[in-house]
Structures are given as structure tokens and as C-alpha cells.
Amino acid sequence: MSSRLSVCLLASESVPLSKTGGLADVTGALTKYLHGAGHDVRLFTPCYASVARSAFGALPVAGLADLPLALGQHRYSFSVLRGVMPGGAAVYLVDCPALYARPTLYTSDPDEHLRFLALTQAALSACQRLGWAPQIVHCNDWHTSFAPLFLRTRWRAEPLFGSTRTVLTIHNIGYQGVFAAEQVADLGLSPSDLPLLHQGDLAAGRINALRHGILYADAVTTVSPTYAREICTAEYGMGLEDSLRARAAVLSGILNGVDYEEWDPRRDRYLPAHYDEATLAVKLRLKHRFLQRQQLDAAGGAPLAGLVSRLASQKGIDLLAEVLPDTLRSRPLAFVALGTGEPRYAQFLRSLQAQFPGRVRFHEGYDDELAHWIEAASDLFLMPSRYEPCGLNQMYSLRYGTLPLVRRTGGLADSVQHFDPASGSGTGIVFNDFNAQGLKWGLDAALDLYQRPAQWLRAQKNAMQQDFSWARQGAHYVALYRKVIAA
Ligand code: ADP
């Protein structure tokens, strides 16, 4: 059972090469985990203009220079560079300046779908020229979702891929890669394969990349078990729930892991002092130091609540707008927020700061160091998300003994248990309904719990003992790969 697996990982972004969000964290960490566990994992990702090639020792590969690539009428030439990821895994950078030399990773250019169809096709072509037969092609999000269908159509006659199986991971179903049906020729399918496309979408004038991954991958995963169930419903499925329900037998959820080398108060490189369960007095000192630096006043030992978030409707910032002003007026509490995103949410946080000087501090921007400080110094971490495929910050908060206040959805539901004073079990505060009443109930419960230091301490210790490391989560992917290969 412990044979070495060969895994071709396809990703539009991967840490530390390129990043806009959690997809990059997961594909980077999974590559590292698989290599560390002794598997032959090879990551294929675009060589964007921003990728620091020399930092990864990226060099041309014999036989993989200036190769032709056809997508319908479109003709490109690409080369593949081989580099090494931190930890030692191989990365193959698909170099095609015509497609990837742009100011940002993603664009709203008319050829956006071609940029990632090219990645998919170039990766399979490179495998063929290397004579490498991956047992698993693991594609991620809409960008590489056509790999399973391509293997059944364009690559059907290639014996090298005869026993290759496919896995699709959905990191956020909100992004589906939809393009116009008139562009169907760009897929390069033969006329006899066209019936394999989703006919309802075609009739409606569109092609949905993610849907084809869902329909044709041997296994479909998403980043938490609860989100896997939720996306089968109209409320969360964003129009793909019917296809997901049709594949329910092969759909599962695997929670993302946390990189505890980065996120652990025992060794956090941004903190001047470190702590664990036995030395929580250090956390209190960090809080006071932070409050002072932020010119915040938590008079009488009031708790500090933190928020680090993209300012998007997914994150429930509108609920905070409904509830926080009242709570700040009626109860002792200080609040620090860090985020960027939609102007209306930034405006709300700015006005909250103006309304409660010395008790609310808002930093608009992206700041890794400040994010670490907020995790360490806060008592409570707010994540009232409308939906949350997995979420990382609540898992970081647990490790920092900063009790997460979350809505029971997606990965939040799978990683935080509501604290029960009677039994002393639980790791945070969990509310059910996405409305102001739900959040108000949660905030009141959290502030009441804070008034009972022995119980708060019990919850903190429970939280700090949780383990969401990649060593655990990565093993679930390996088990899934083996299951798919054996099926
Ligand atoms: P999502 O991927 O939906 O944005 P996650 O909780 O899964 O949410 O991951 C967000 C990651 O981005 C976390 O590591 C978080 O600390 C970080 N992050 C988000 N916004 C900021 C910010 N403004 N400054 C620093 N880090 C941020």
C-alpha cells in the first residue's frame, strides 16, 4: 500500500511562485507534502512575468523548447522550464509570454480562457514528451478543469495516459471560468466529441469550465466536508448544484492544512516573545504592547476582537456593520481590523473607527506582519462568513489561543466547535444563522464567556491543542489518490 505515486498537479497559482489566494497556499503545501512523503509529484504552473525564475533554479528542459500549441484557430509556442520548489519537489513552468507576460496573474482579457486551456494542454504535452505517465492528474479550480475531458478526447489515443486517473479540487465555487459558446472551437475537440460538452450551457450560449471538471474527473474534492455538502444545494452551488449532485458518489471534502512553520505562537518570526498553552501570560503582554502601539484602549481589561479578511460579501462584513456599533456602545470591547476589498466595506470600517476613537482601529491594506500580530494579540477573532469553503484564519486563531467566533458554514463548521461550559469541551463560538441576530447572539456569548476566566482559559487550551497540519490533511489526498487508482 505504500508504493510511490506519480502525481501531476496542475495549478494556476502556487506558493511561493505566485499567489492571489488560498489556492496558491494549498497547491504549494500539497506539493511539498507529497514530495516529502516520497511521491513523484510534478507541479505544472504558468511562468508569469512575476515568477522569479532564478530563485527556483528554473532551467530549460531538453526536448521542451519552442513547442507548438494549437487551441482551435489560435497558435502558440511554449517552452517548459524545470525548477525546484522549497522542499525539493519539481516544478515545471509553462513559459508562453504571449499568454502569461501580463501585469496580473488573472485578467479580464478576451483570451482568459485560452490562457488556462493552454496551461492544461501544455502540461499534458510535456508529460508525453518526457515519457512520464502520471497515475493521477490533479487539477484545481476552473483554470485546469478541462484536463479530465481532454484526457478522454484529445489524448484518448495516447497509451501513456491509458491508466491515468483524474482528481479535481474546487477551492471556491464562486469562480467558474465561463466563456461564450461561440468559442467552442478553442477546445480543439473533434466533432464526434462535442456531445460530451454540457448541452444545456451550450444552448444558453456559454461554456462553463468548472462544470466539465465536475462532470469528468474520477474524483471531485472541495476544501471541507461541510462545503462539499453545501455546494450540492441551490443556496451554495452557484448554479452547479445539479452537476455536483449527479457526481455525489465521487464528491468529498478534505480540509486544508495549516503551515505551522509560519503560524505558531511558539516560533512566530514577527513576535518579540513566544508562548504556548503554559505561558499565556506572554500572550497578555503582547496584547498590551499591541494595544499601546495601535493607540487602542481596552479599559478595565476589555477583550480585543480581531479581523483579517478580504473585504468581500462572502466574509459577512455587512453583518458586522449591523451589529458592531450597538455592541461597542453597550459592552466593553476593542476591535482591530485589517483588510482590503470592496470600498463600501472599507468605508464602514473607517467610519466605525471615527465613531469609536481609541476603541476601533482599521488598517486598509495587505500586511502579513500585522496579520500575525492581530492573531497573537486578540482575544477573539471574527469570521461571520456567508460561506467559507475552508478558511484559514480560524485555524490560525485556534493555534494562537484566540477564540474564533464563526458562523456554522463550510470549513468553519468543520474546524471550530462551540464551547460548552457544562462539559468544558469546544474551541470557539459558533452561531448558526447568517443574520444580525445570529451574530449578536454569538458576540454576546463570546463576551459573556470572557467574563468567566476559568472557562475562557479552558476553551483557549482546547483550541491550542487542535492539529490541522498538512501531515494529517495531505494523507487524506494520498488515500483518495489510491482509492481512485484502485477503482
Ligand atoms: P480567503 O482565501 O477566502 O481569502 P482564507 O481565510 O482561506 O480566506 O485565507 C486568507 C489568507 O489571506 C490568510 O492567510 C489571511 O491571513 C490572509 N489575508 C487576508 N487578507 C489579508 C490582509 N489584508 N493582510 C494580510 N493577510 C491577509
Instruction: Count Cβ atoms below 10 Å from residue 364 Cβ, excluding itself.
Output: 17
Instruction: Count Cβ atoms below 10 Å from residue 341 Cβ, excluding itself.
Output: 16
Which residue's CA is minimally distant from atom 24 of ligand 1? 366
For the chain, domains (ranges, CATH) are 6-257+471-486 (3.40.50.2000), 280-467 (3.40.50.2000)
The DSSP result for 301-350, as a single string, is G--EEEEEEEESGGGTHHHHHHHHHHHHHHS--EEEEEEEE-HHHHHHHH
Contact criterion met (CB below 8 Å) for 345 and 316: no
Instruction: Choose which residue among 393, 395, 473 to substitute to test ligand 1 binding: the one with the highest number of ligand atoms within 8 A of its C-beta.
Output: 393
pLDDT higher than 60, residue 1: no
| pLDDT tens digit sequence for 218-230 | 999 999 999 999 9
Stated pTM of the model: 0.94
Q: What is the average pLDDT score of the chain?
A: 97
Contact criterion met (CB below 8 Å) for 9 and 44: yes
| pLDDT tens digit sequence for 22-76 | 899 899 999 999 999 999 999 999 999 999 999 999 999 999 999 999 999 999 9
Measure the CA–CA gap between 51 and 53, rounded to whole angstroms: 6
pLDDT higher than 70, residue 411: yes
The count of C-alpha atoms lying within 13 angstroms of the C-alpha of 105, restricted to the half-sphere facing its C-beta, is: 16
Quote the pLDDT of residue 299: 81
Q: How large is the greatest C-alpha to C-alpha distance in the chain, in angstroms? A: 74
Quote the pLDDT of residue 298: 83
| Span from the CA of 29 to the centroid of ligand 1 (angstroms) | 16
- Average pLDDT rounded to a whole number, residues 82-101: 97
pLDDT higher than 90, residue 21: no
Contact criterion met (CB below 8 Å) for 468 and 255: yes
Quote the pLDDT of residue 374: 98
- Average pLDDT rounded to a whole number, residues 453-464: 98
pLDDT higher than 80, residue 417: yes
Name the residue among 279, 307, 280 with its Cα closest to residue 364: 307
Measure the CA–CA gap between 175 and 164, rounded to whole angstroms: 26
- Average pLDDT rounded to a whole number, residues 68-88: 97
Q: Is 469 in the pocket of ligand 1 (CB under 6 A)?
A: no
| pLDDT tens digit sequence for 157-214 | 999 999 999 999 999 999 999 999 999 999 999 999 999 999 999 999 999 999 999 9
67 Cβ contact list (under 8 Å, min separation 6): 77, 78, 79, 80, 122, 125, 129
Quote the pLDDT of residue 45: 98
Distance in angstroms between the alpha carbons of the first and the last residue of the chain: 14
pLDDT higher than 80, residue 8: yes
Measure the CA–CA gap between 78 and 44, rounded to whole angstroms: 13
DSSP code of residue 420: B
| Span from the CA of 366 to the centroid of ligand 1 (angstroms) | 9
Contact criterion met (CB below 8 Å) for 359 and 335: yes
Quote the pLDDT of residue 18: 95
| pLDDT tens digit sequence for 322-336 | 999 999 999 999 999
Quote the pLDDT of residue 466: 97
Measure the CA–CA gap between 153 and 412, rounded to whole angstroms: 39
Bridge partners of 339, per DSSP, are 309, 364
Q: Which helix (H) or strand (E) holds 282?
A: helix 280-293
Which residue's CA is minimally distant from atom 18 of ligand 1? 309
231 Cβ contact list (under 8 Å, min separation 6): 170, 173, 222, 237, 238, 240, 241, 244
How much of the chain exceeds pLDDT 70, in percent? 100
Confidence category of residue 245, pLDDT binned at 50, 70, 90:
very high
Q: Is 270 in the pocket of ligand 1 (CB under 6 A)?
A: no
Instruction: Choose which residue among 20, 392, 394, 468 to substitute to test ligand 1 binding: the one with the highest number of ligand atoms within 8 A of its C-beta.
Output: 392
pLDDT higher than 80, residue 425: yes
DSSP code of residue 450: H
- Order of all β-strands in the sheet with 403-407: 360-364, 334-341, 304-311, 380-383, 403-407, 429-431
